[in-house]
Amino acid sequence: MPDLSRREFLGAATGVAAGAMLGSPTVGHAAPAVHVRPPARPVAVGSANGLRGVELAGRLVREGMDTLDAAIEGVKLQELDPDDMSVGYGGLPNEAGVVQLDASCMHGPTRRAGAVGALEGIKTPSVVAKYVLLYTDHILLVGEGAKQFALSYGFLEENLLTEQSRERWLRWRANRGPDDDWLDVPETAQMGLRPTGTINLNVVSPKGELSSVTTTSGLAWKIPGRVGDSPIIGAGQYCDNDVGAAGSTGRGESNLKVCGAFLTVEHMRRGLAPTDACLETLRRVVATSEARLLDPRGRPQFQLSFYAVNKEGQFGAAALYPTRFAVFDGTAAAIRDAAHLFERS
């Protein structure tokens, strides 16, 4: 190579730089690679009322089943249980006495999602949501359209109101107010706090593949047509196969305002452990709550919980107030205490 004077070298470098600014092709730089070690065992985590489903999903994934199929099989246990009034068959109805169900799911490996809202007459909305994911270019179907879609795939239309859930509804209706046309039932039979109920389940396989699902009959005695956070991708649940999965139970309206499941996964993307990610999302919920929903000390007058698992198989849960969650840690399922922001008065 011939010798270059300092002036010649600087001139050549200037020409290269000028060429780059004029649009000469340049070599791109890829983002830094993030190496994530997959878990050595399957993990399933979710709400405590879904303990049986969490255990089933964890065992199915351990046996090699796809994460979404395993999660759906888990929540189906509760959807088909007439004694579980939080989801599916026997779920508590809206104010008109009609059971309307919501569900959503995400499959990490294929990055696909499906959901249904205000679905009537179908016991397993989680499975219908999976069919939306598998067979359509849509994500969310609602109301009569969701039911007709389910019927077209062979689902049976059935009465979802059991005698037990009907009795709960009748008691609520009788006690709505002292001046209405309904006779109040005895004080000892009153229901107390307005029931809510949802099941969220998040799964990671030994290969690091993730899925999530949330299913619910929604807020008891809701206005007909009300849809909460459960069928909304990014609120009721969210899954990113590069990071983790998260979901929620509790007051859906407060979760919808912060897209809580998505936000929790994003906190994990920044490096937070699952429990810390859930707590950080709850702090955002408190900060965005209207004054009418807070007590004189600035604390929420409702409950909201988040559950999360990351790609490495670390898991956690947190709530506004003390509660518990279910986890399958690769060996067995158990109920554990969740982290929380506030102590109950």
pLDDT at 313: 97
Smallest CA-to-CA distance from 79 within 196, 216, 200 is with 216
In terms of DSSP H, where are the helices of 24-142?
Answer: 51-62, 67-79, 125-135
Token pair for residue 4? 């270059």
The pTM for the full model equals: 0.86
Beta carbons of 201 and 75 less than 8 angstroms apart: yes
* Domains of the chain (ranges, CATH numbers): 43-339 (3.60.20.30)
Beta carbons of 46 and 325 less than 8 angstroms apart: yes
- Consecutive sets of 10 residues in the chain, 345 residues long: mean pLDDT of each? 45 43 47 67 96 98 98 97 94 96 98 98 98 98 98 98 93 75 48 67 97 96 96 98 98 97 98 98 98 96 97 98 97 97 93
In terms of DSSP H, where are the helices of the chain?
Answer: 6-21, 51-62, 67-79, 125-135, 143-152, 163-174, 252-256, 260-269, 274-287
Q: How many residues does the chain have?
A: 345
In the chain, DSSP finds a helix count (H) and a strand count (E) of 9, 13
Dist CA 308 CA 323 (whole Å):
15
Local structure of residue 12 (DSSP, 8 states): H
Token pair for residue 253? 């309206």
pLDDT at 96: 95
Q: Which helix (H) or strand (E) holds 115?
A: strand 112-119
Dist CA 19 CA 7 (whole Å):
18
Dist CA 185 CA 165 (whole Å):
16
pLDDT at 194: 55
Dist CA 136 CA 275 (whole Å):
35
Catalytic residue among 198, 249, 264, 323: 198
pLDDT at 185: 54
pLDDT at 38: 81
Beta carbons of 311 and 210 less than 8 angstroms apart: yes
pLDDT at 1: 45
216 is catalytic: no
- The sign of the CA dihedral 233, 194, 128, 328 is positive
